[in-house]
Structure 1
Amino acid sequence: MTIEFLLTSLIIVASPGTGVIYTLAAGLARGRRASVVAALGCTLGIVPHLAAAILGLAALLHASALAFETVKYLGVAYLLYMAWMTWRERGALSLAREVNARSALQVTTEAVLINILNPKLSIFFLAFLPQFIDARETRPLASMLELSAVFMAMTFAIFALYGMAAAAMRDHVLSRPRILTWLRRSFAAAFVALGAKLALAEK
């Protein structure tokens, strides 16, 4: 494992995307526990993509236009659904004083689906991980698994930090309904924008 891999991974993970947006929203609406649950869900959502890259299934997704388009538009539809629910105060920014087992499951499920339904992630990992495997490596699979584990750990840590920072502002936001309304509309617009970006994505 190289410093180049760590720095590149840090930049990728810290860059705002669907997972970051969702984790921020969960932290603002439901507090610290929800932000950690959301970070965990987003991290779990990349596991199938890492597995696909390691097993070579991402190459099949890249080769099959139908498979790619199917998963992509499922992802677009889900992001638009998230935008609609957020706008109606029933999604990521639905307020809850505490996170019980049922709502924790809801947060986890939403977070996992956000990443699973993005076919670009499988293709990204297929192109990204092999760059950091030495051509002389005698156990490339073990190296891929190690890099994947580190990437997942960084994803969880960074997303949790984002969420905890948002949760720290929660009381300030909840006491100001106008700010909460503005944030809800902003998050809904962000989900729409991310859905549009995914819809325009090419293999």
Structure 2
Amino acid sequence: MFTISTLILYLGAAVLLILIPGPDLIFAVTQGITNGRKAGVYTAAGLALGNTVHTLAAALGLSIIVQTSPVLFTIFKIAGALYLFNLAYKSLKHRKAPLMVGSGEKKGEMALLRKGLIMNILNPKVAIFFLTFLPQFVNYGYGLVPLQMIVLGLIFIVLTALIFGLFAYFAGAFSSRFLEKPRMQEGANIAAGIIFVALGVKLLATSP
């Protein structure tokens, strides 16, 4: 279904993008600091599980686009590439913007899991990201596009749970050494900008 090189490229891009300091990661770390390690891990799990909805939506959406019309697929490619280029622009423009860990709400673990789940599901930016990111690594010659998208999505979900969970569990050390270090933030944002540009170019070159 996937070549080794494709999987390695996908895993590398996924890990780097998950590591970009953003609202979800900050939220998980905040809960780890204020409510304890267990709460942070539950929050990370909720945020990761929300991606299952976006994976299924992206798989169904791409399948319909591919089967419906070559023109529609071309429009999707152009729109998706422009979105990725916009993400790259924002990452580079705001590469030095500080990201501070704020105070978290005191809630039970299951309540935090539900909040993380709902936060992720209701975030339209995540839905758009999945629809533009996952297709880069689909082998259209193999067929079974929805299944490939689901497998890629599940890999991303597992990686998100692991990385967010580790940050939340070791919240104090990670937040001080990574999230609040200007140079590390700037480096992460620059790397993100480069990845988004590369993905946008790759999407434009994709053919069903």
- Which of 93, 110, 113 is equivalent to 2:104? 93
- Which of 129, 132, 144 is equivalent to 2:137? 132
Aligned residue in 1 for 2:120: 115
Contact 2:59 2:147 in 1 (8 A): no
- Which of 14, 17, 32 is equivalent to 2:19? 14
Contact 1:28 1:169 in 2 (8 A): no
Alpha-carbon deviations, 1:136-159, whole Å to 9, x = none? 113222211111110000000000
The AA in structure 1 aligned to 2:116 is A
Q: Distance in 1 between matches of 2:174 and 2:12?
A: 28
Aligned residue in 2 for 1:30: 35
- CA apart distance, 1:53: 0.6
Q: Structure 2-normalised TM-score? A: 0.58
Aligned residue in 2 for 1:156: 161
Aligned residue in 2 for 1:147: 152
C-alpha change, 1:140 and 1:47, in structure 2 (3 Å) is same
Query: Structure 1 runs of 4+ off > 4 angstroms?
Result: 167-170
- CA apart distance, 1:94: 3.6
Question: Secondary structure of 2:18's match?
Answer: helix
Superposition CA RMSD, Å: 2.7
- CA apart distance, 1:52: 1.0
Q: Distance in 1 between matches of 2:128 and 2:57?
A: 9
Q: Distance in 2 between matches of 1:28 and 1:123?
A: 30
Unaligned runs of 5+ residues in structure 1 are: 64-85, 96-101, 171-203
Aligned residue in 2 for 1:3: 8
Q: Structure 1-normalised TM-score? A: 0.59
